[in-house]
Amino acid sequence: GRGKTTISYAVISKWIHDKIIDKILVIGPISAFGPWEDEYKFCFGKSITAVRPQGADEIKEMRKSDSLLFLMHYTSAGKNLDSLIEFMKDHNVLLVIDESHNIKNFKLKLWANSALILASYARRRMILTGTPMPNDARDLWTQLTFLWPNDYPLNMVAPFVRYAKTHG
Q: What is the pLDDT along the chain (168 residues), one digit of tens a residue?
A: 679 999 999 999 999 999 999 999 999 999 999 999 999 999 999 999 899 998 889 999 999 999 999 999 999 999 999 999 999 999 999 999 999 988 887 776 788 899 999 999 999 999 999 888 888 888 888 999 999 998 888 888 778 888 888 886
Q: Pairing mode, if any, of strands 23-28 and 93-98?
A: parallel
Q: What is the maximal distance between C-alpha atoms in the chain? A: 51
pLDDT for 5 equals: 94
CA separation for the pair 102, 26 (Å, rounded): 13
pLDDT for 1 equals: 60
pLDDT for 67 equals: 96
pLDDT for 126 equals: 98
> Are 72 and 25 a contacting pair, CB within 8 Å?
yes
pLDDT for 139 equals: 86
DSSP E strands: which ranges in 43-90?
Answer: 69-73
